Amino acid sequence: MNSTPNLRYAWYVVAVLMLAYISSFIDRQVLTLLVKPLKRDFNVTDTQVGLLIGFSFAIFYTFLGIPIGRMADRKNRKRIIVWGITIWSIMTALCGVTGSYNQLFIARVGVGIGEAALSPAAYSLITDLFPRQKLGTALGIYNIGVYLGSGLSILLVALILKLVSVEGTWSIPFFGDIYPWQSVFFIVGIPGLLIVALIAFTIKEPERQNASKAAVSTQEVKRYFAANRQAILCLFFGIAFMAFGSYATTSWTPTLLVRHYGLTEAQAGLLLGSIVTVFSTGGVIVGGRYSDRLTQQGKADAKMRVGFIGMSIGLFLALIVLVFFTLTPAPIQGFVVLLALCCFATSMPYGAATAAVQEMIPAPMRATFSALFLFVVNLLGLGGGPLMVGLLNDKLFHDPNQVHLSFAITLVMATGFSCFLLYTGLKPFVQSIENAKAES
């Protein structure tokens, strides 16, 4: 193994990549507070909203992640990240000049194409900068971007909506008329180009661990997957169901607060954004540090175990939420407390889980398997979570005002499956760590 670079510089790299991840989540989650004006001006259903928030983004984000991951195992990861940020920032801005649902759907696909480049390359790059006993914390801090980005996007859009919450259209040179709420896409999209400059001029491509084995064939990847499929599938799908519930929460809670409790979009955004920013971010930090502590204590299954613990608590809280919403009336104060606790618990696994992928996979295959991990997590989680709530609204309850029940059912299902899969994968995960050491 190559010598570990200076840790001060390594933490700087993590901070910059976390900033990029925050930007990516702001751009992908910006639609969650725009449901009401979107439905009003583009005349769409809740199911179409779910497709737009999740599936339109996820379709290319997930499928392109695998070839990009293979590329990141061979090529310059810094350049891959720079091109990815450039593409998604431009496509986010273009969402602001679309004139129909179909055009907005296509632009969202473009955002997903750009964002597919970030995490596979970032996971591999960070892993080459840190020793094993600090990797859980490092990747946990990087993955704070998931929740800081989600929370800040909701807060940001809530504040912007106070300024642009008017009807009618605005005239934009060269593009024609747009709705005022579409200007949000310009405001959140353009700053990503500043992050491109920061990465391009201040970060260097690190030397790879086991560089002599960096180029592995597809057959070798398939062979390793077949030999470790139980651990890999349990971890990947366990976290995918975690993401299923998380994306359903961030996508539909603002609408739930508006429809069920009568808050304005701005009030709902400020409330949810604050909860996600504080409690979900805290959960990632605690989960990453706790997994590192267990690793230092000699617990081989530390990173998978933290995931199971977090989702067990999440399942218990989700069941309480479901029972809570059967009460009439269900006070908003109780829901806010349950939501905050649930956000903390269900975010605990994420930083530890991404470190678990790096730990159970040989170094020359890490970006490829990171891409496979993100493929499963985002296709099921991002593609399915927001869509499930919309489908339950339209097809089961036939009533958009029952969104609180659709949300609670989705959350129970997601946390239940996640908890079961992570527990099932504990022992196979330990064996896969040994297999990865032998391969390396």
Q: How much is the pLDDT for 166?
A: 56
Dihedral of the CA atoms 27, 33, 36, 40 (nearest 10)?
-20
The mean pLDDT of 128-133, rounded to a whole number, is 81
Q: What is the pTM of this model?
A: 0.76
Helix axes 118-127, 132-164, angle to 10 degrees: 150
Which range, of 273-277, 325-329, 407-411, averages the lowest pLDDT? 325-329
The mean pLDDT of 142-169, rounded to a whole number, is 73
The mean pLDDT value of the chain amounts to: 85
Q: How much is the pLDDT for 375?
A: 85
Please say if the pLDDT value at position 67 is more than 80.
yes
Contacts of 111 (CB under 8 A, 6+ apart): 27, 28, 57, 88, 91, 92, 95
| Interatomic CA distance for residues 375 and 366, integer angstroms | 14
| Interatomic CA distance for residues 152 and 161, integer angstroms | 14
Confidence band (pLDDT; 50, 70, 90) for 159? confident
Range with top average pLDDT, 8-12, 30-34, 41-45:
8-12
Domain map of the chain by residue range?
7-439
| Interatomic CA distance for residues 137 and 354, integer angstroms | 10
Tens of pLDDT, residues 160-174: 766 655 566 666 766
| Dihedral sign for Cα atoms in the order 179, 104, 174, 114 | positive
Class of domain 7-439: mainly alpha
